[in-house]
Amino acid sequence: MCLAIERVNVGNPGAPTDRIRQPFQEQGVSKLLSRLMVTLGAVVLACGATSRGHADDISGAGATFPYPIYAKWAEAYKQQTGIGLNYQSIGSGGGIKQIEAGTVTFGASDKPLEAADLKQNGLVQWPMIIGGVVPVVNIPGIKPGDLILDGPTIAAIYLGDISRWNDPAIQKLNPKLSLPKLDIAPVYRSDGSGTNFLFTNYLSKVSPGFSQKIGANTSVQWPVGIGAKGNEGVANQTAQTGGAIGYVEFAYVKQTGMTYTRMLNHDGKYVVPEAKAFQAAAANADWAKAEGYYLILTDQPGSDSWPITGASFILMHTDSKDAQTVAALKFFDWAYKSGQKMAEDLDYVPLPDKVTKLVQATWLQSLKVNGKPAWPAR
């Protein structure tokens, strides 16, 4: 199901506000997009809509995972520089297609492309922000953080092997909870998505059955459940469906007060989704040795590590004809230097300074506009 959304100029306080024609019905999630509009000054663009805005604005498309922070950055940057960001939050798959087609200045994906794919398509990628994918549920009487799940149990739910909330496997993880004899309604991403990739990559690592039957990818064939488009759609569908379980980026959980679960991590410790847990998962990331920055952060060791952690990546052409390439790099540079507090407020994890310096070295070495170096900006 695709949400009907009008287009908006992200980061432009004077632009018309988006209105979703399908209302959120649950009290907690009914405020999802309205809070994003007030707090971030923008709403997600969905369903493949083409961005429109001022000619000097930067155009991008892709992952919904980082959308809340990109919107917040865009609003602040617009106020400081007058330059806006037209970002289509259409999923990683759509972002990759649009940058490959050259219809946007940059693409965004939560699934990193391997070095061979980057070379084949004349692209450069780098990490922009780190966050966590979080299971969310709609179970009567269960409050945020009450329920504990582990990877194999979630995999069994999405395989259809566990179909009720009072199943012995779930009850064993939650001996003090009174779980209802309620059918489970798994909600999944129906679009090609990096959030899908992170979620399925993790479940494939911890469940051989999931790996064999479904596997890890941006788009997979789910044997059971209800499909929804974007992090917003999954949040909406989970909130409207009794007994539902879904998975969304934590900023959406934080914005709406959804009922998140705790998880049993790689080291067998119970962890809560929060910035320090995402940071713990990213602590061992060696970006300098990752060719093309290809690095996946799911199921990382460490007692404090959140198991479904991931980076979101930016994709640009190595030699672009897009005049806004330099403007986009200035925006990303500003976000690295001035956007950390905003990212932390939404429980994203900013990249360490040593990584941003690696990224800027990549810009210097690999990015051109009409054959001329794009960085440092002049």
Residue ranges of E strands in the chain = 58-62, 85-89, 106-109, 123-137, 148-150, 185-189, 226-228, 244-249, 259-260, 262-264, 270-271, 309-317, 319-320, 368-369, 372-373
Owner of token pair 């004809």: 321
Q: What is the pLDDT of residue 6?
A: 28
Q: Is 115 in contact with 282 (CB distance < 8 Å)?
A: no
Q: Identify whether the C-beta of residue 299 lies closer than 8 Å to the C-beta of residue 202.
A: yes
Rounded Cα gap, residues 74 and 285, in angstroms: 27
pLDDT per residue as tens digits for the range 181-225: 999 999 999 998 999 999 999 999 999 999 999 999 999 999 999
Q: What tokens appear for 302 in the block?
A: 């460490």
Kindly write down the DSSP assignment for every residue of 187-253, as one continuous string.
EEE-S--HHHHHHHHHHHHH-HHHHHHT-SSSS---SSSEEESHHHHHHHHHHHSTTEEEEEEHHHH
Residue 284: per-residue pLDDT: 83
Strands ordered across the beta sheet of 148-150 = 148-150, 262-264, 270-271
pLDDT of residue 34: 42
Angle in degrees, CA 57, 63, 65, rounded to 5 = 115
Look at residue 240 in the predicted model and tell me its pLDDT. Answer: 95
Q: Beta strand 226-228 with 85-89: parallel, antiparallel or unpaired?
A: unpaired
The alpha-carbon radius of gyration of the chain (Å, integer) is 20
Give pLDDT < 70 ranges for the chain. 1-55
Q: What is the pLDDT of residue 252?
A: 87
DSSP string, 235-246: HHHHHHSTTEEE
User: In the prediction, which pLDDT does 23 show?
Assistant: 33
Concatenating the DSSP letter of every residue in 76-112 gives: HHHHHHS--EEEEE--HHHHHHHHHHTSSSEEEESSP
| Domains within the chain, CATH numbers bracketed | 29-131+308-373 (3.40.190.10), 133-284 (3.40.190.10)
Using an 8 Å Cβ cutoff, are 71 and 87 in contact? yes
